[in-house]
Structure 1
Amino acid sequence: MSNNSSDYTLGERICKARDASGLSTAQLARRLGIKTATMQSWESDRSEPRSNKLVLLAGVLNVSPTWLLVGRGTPPISEDAPGADLDSMRVALDRIQKQAQTLADEIGVLQDRINGE
Structure 2
Amino acid sequence: MNAGTYDDDTLGGRMSLCRENRGMSVEEAAGHLGVLAESWEAWERDRDVPRANRLSMIAGLLGVTPSWLLSGQGAGPVEVKTTEPDDLLRAVKDASEEVAALNKRIDDIAARLAQRNKL
Partner of 1:55: 56
Partner of 1:74: 75
Alignment partners' CA distance in 2, 1:62 and 1:76: 6
Letter in 2 for 1:40: E
Letter in 2 for 1:63: V
Calculate the TM-score normalised by the size of structure 2: 0.61
Asked whether the 8 Å contact 1:18–1:28 carries over to 2, the reply is yes
Alignment partners' CA distance in 2, 1:60 and 1:9: 18
Asked whether the 8 Å contact 1:6–1:71 carries over to 2, the reply is no
Letter in 1 for 2:54: K
Alpha-carbon distance, 1:77 to partner: 1.6
Calculate the TM-score normalised by the size of structure 1: 0.62
Asked whether the 8 Å contact 1:5–1:75 carries over to 2, the reply is no
Asked whether the 8 Å contact 1:41–1:47 carries over to 2, the reply is yes
SS at match of 1:23: coil
Partner of 1:14: 15
Alignment partners' CA distance in 2, 1:64 and 1:53: 13
Write out aligned runs for 1:30-45 (5 A): 30-45=31-46
Asked whether the 8 Å contact 1:66–1:73 carries over to 2, the reply is yes
Write out aligned runs for 1:20-31 (5 A): 20-31=21-32
* Largest Rg, 1 or 2: 2
Equivalent pairs, count: 79
Alpha-carbon distance, 1:79 to partner: 2.5
CA root-mean-square deviation: 1.8
Asked whether the 8 Å contact 1:67–1:74 carries over to 2, the reply is yes
Alpha-carbon distance, 1:62 to partner: 0.8
Cα-to-partner distance string for 1:13-72 (whole Å, 9 max, x where unaligned): 000111111111000000000000000000000001001110000011110000000000
Alignment partners' CA distance in 1, 2:6 and 2:49: 18
Q: Sequence identity of aligned pairs in percent?
A: 38
Alignment partners' CA distance in 2, 1:65 and 1:45: 16
